[in-house]
Structure 1
Amino acid sequence: MRNISLVLAAALAVLVLGGCSGGAPEQVKETAGAEDTAGTQGLELSMPSAEETEKAGEEQAEPARDEAKETGLAAEGTGKGEEPAAEGPEPGDSSASAGSSPDRNDKAKAAGGDGGSQAPVESAPDASLKDFPFVGKTMDDIRARLGEPKTTGKAGGTATWQYDFAKEGYQYPEKAVSVDVQGLSNGSMKEQLFVTFGEDRTVQSASLYYMTDGEIMEYRVTEDGAVEEPAGRD
């Protein structure tokens, strides 16, 4: 009987010990699992995820890039907007002030000059012709002075050379030696010169025709001297 009691006591002890040892590990395991979950949850709440960290970094870098871009554009605009100042003439350089300007030359040319002189004023009679000593000059002398005549004519033992001094574009159509009354009157013919040679082929007389105060005048040179009077009186 006593032996049976000991066996039952031992079996009961084994059951008790087995029950205690089996329940305790599960409780410890569950507790540890709870602690791990709480720890993991705490980390997740206090630290952002990798995607959130990358997104936050991009958001912080964007304003910095915009600011740098604006600064670069401002610097570029400032550099392009500035133009180098025009250099003035060097001290002592007289070319800038003493040289003639295009406007001045254009005005002078429009007035009939070449930029430094005015157009010559037409005069009648030609002083050089009136002062030239025609009498006694040979034909070669007259050619050297006036060139070839426009028209020539002969009468008896004399020969007459005619020189026309007309405005540009006008030509006296008459082929015979004659005074261009119409051309002289309207100003198309400025002067006409007639040189008469004797039989010795030297100048006997010279007559210059021109307009003065609306009247055709003749300046005639002979061995006896020079006479100026209205044409046609002789």
Structure 2
Amino acid sequence: MTARPPEGPTTLVVIAKEPAPGRVKTRLTPPCTPAQAARLAEAALADTLHTLLRVPARRRLLVLAGRTGRWLPPGFDVVPQCDGGLDERIAAAFAHCAGPTLLVGMDTPQLTPALLAPATAPPGGWPRRRAWFGPAADGGFWALGMAEPRPALVRGVPMSTPLTGRAQHRRLTEAGLDVRELPVLRDVDTAADAERIAHEAPGGRFAAAWHALGTGVAS
């Protein structure tokens, strides 16, 4: 019998692409083939979703570009991503939610419930004007949360640049929010990233998929 996911005040959101060859993890090719990169993306996404099943939440939502697959466990509502840039798609994801909401991507399979605990552990870290921000090592961000979702605070932020995280953080603080930070994490972008993350989280699906490919490189 499957254990019931823990309940809490937070809506957890994952924004992701269907892990299809040629659509995901293109910076891993080479050394990977598009099919291998897609398998790694699927493993990273599955690790993320299964981790969030262990995190207290009121609702779990997958905002997906593409179709679901065997990697999707029970317990998630699924809605399609809108068109537009990443800022528009993140903003639209927040528009599906009410109350405390924490959004994460599919690129950090080393994620654990403990890393999210400051924002999600009961009784929760959600005063009225609280925001949570998870900076990424490449200058972006891997998590973004607001006690009261305001899509306009994401729309227009330049994405996929070394200054994205700084710009998003500034947008939150200039809106008068009390921004608290989660730990810095590394996204899976390159083969060196994949090797390092597989070493940091050796028990996950991602690490198993990476080592099965035999494409590891020195970090």
Q: TM-score range by the shorter chain?
A: under 0.3
TM-score by length of 1: 0.19
Name the structure with the higher helix share.
1
Larger relative CO (CA 8 A, sep 6+): 1 or 2?
2
